């Protein structure tokens, strides 16, 4: 599937992200193939993946070192869960945009992540095409938030 072609407007115009500085993204998931799928989608949306992490500890370390604009975190990861990593990352930078991904679909897990400060929640149990659509739908909101918190 050509992710970039799918994200183009019907007239074949530019991808979803507006022009300007590319949004810098950290992806954390303990499943390599999920990270690869999400990274492809993020790139197709016009952003740059600055780091990938296989667990929550790596995610927090990479965030401290690289300070990306947006993080995409799986909840169930070894060493440190994604929801705990989210809390630590937001303590470092409360303005970062966080999207949580998980196979859990209980209302409690969704609400807990949103209460902790996640901006969006996506089920990774969906097919790649559906994950792409969900990220594309929430992307404009994420970009707008990042742009609104940028320093001149």
pLDDT tens column, 18-65: 456 788 999 999 999 899 999 998 898 888 999 999 999 999 999 999
3-state percent helix, strand, coil for the chain, nearest multiple of 5:
45, 15, 35
pLDDT of residue 71: 95
Q: What is the mean pLDDT of residues 132-142?
A: 82
Of 99, 110, 111, the C-alpha closest to 139 is 99
Reply yes or no on whether the pLDDT at 6 is more than 60: no
Lowest mean pLDDT among 62-76, 83-97, 110-124: 110-124
Collapse the DSSP code of 72 into the 3-class scheme (helix H, G, I; strand E, B; otherwise coil) and give the result.
strand
Residue 120's DSSP bridge partners are 99
pLDDT of residue 105: 61
Q: What is the mean pLDDT of residues 112-141?
A: 83
Mean of the per-residue pLDDT values of the chain: 81
CB 99 within 8 A of CB 121: yes
- Close Cβ partners of 51 (under 8 Å, ≥ 6 residues apart): 26, 27, 62, 66, 68
pLDDT of residue 5: 36
CB 80 within 8 A of CB 56: yes
pLDDT of residue 68: 94
pLDDT of residue 19: 56
Residue 100's DSSP bridge partners are 73, 121
pLDDT of residue 151: 58
Q: Would you place residue 1 in the very low, low, confident or very high pLDDT band (cuts 50, 70, 90)?
A: very low
pLDDT of residue 21: 76
Q: Would you place residue 8 in the very low, low, confident or very high pLDDT band (cuts 50, 70, 90)?
A: very low
pLDDT of residue 20: 67
């Amino acid at each position: 599937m050509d992710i970039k072609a799918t994200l183009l407007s019907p007239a074949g115009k530019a991808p979803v992200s507006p022009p300007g500085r590319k949004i810098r993204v950290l992806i954390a998931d303990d499943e390599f193939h999920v990270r690869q799928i999400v990274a492809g989608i993020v790139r197709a949306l016009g952003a740059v993946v600055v780091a990938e992490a296989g667990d929550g500890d790596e995610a927090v370390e990479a965030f401290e070192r690289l300070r990306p604009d947006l993080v995409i975190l799986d909840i169930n990861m070894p060493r440190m869960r994604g929801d705990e990593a989210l809390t630590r990352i937001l303590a470092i930078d409360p303005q970062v945009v966080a999207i949580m991904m998980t196979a859990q679909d209980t209302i409690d897990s969704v609400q807990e992540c949103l209460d902790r400060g996640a901006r969006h929640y996506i089920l990774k149990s969906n097919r790649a095409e559906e994950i792409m659509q969900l990220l594309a739908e929430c992307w404009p909101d994420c970009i707008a938030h990042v742009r609104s918190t940028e320093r001149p």
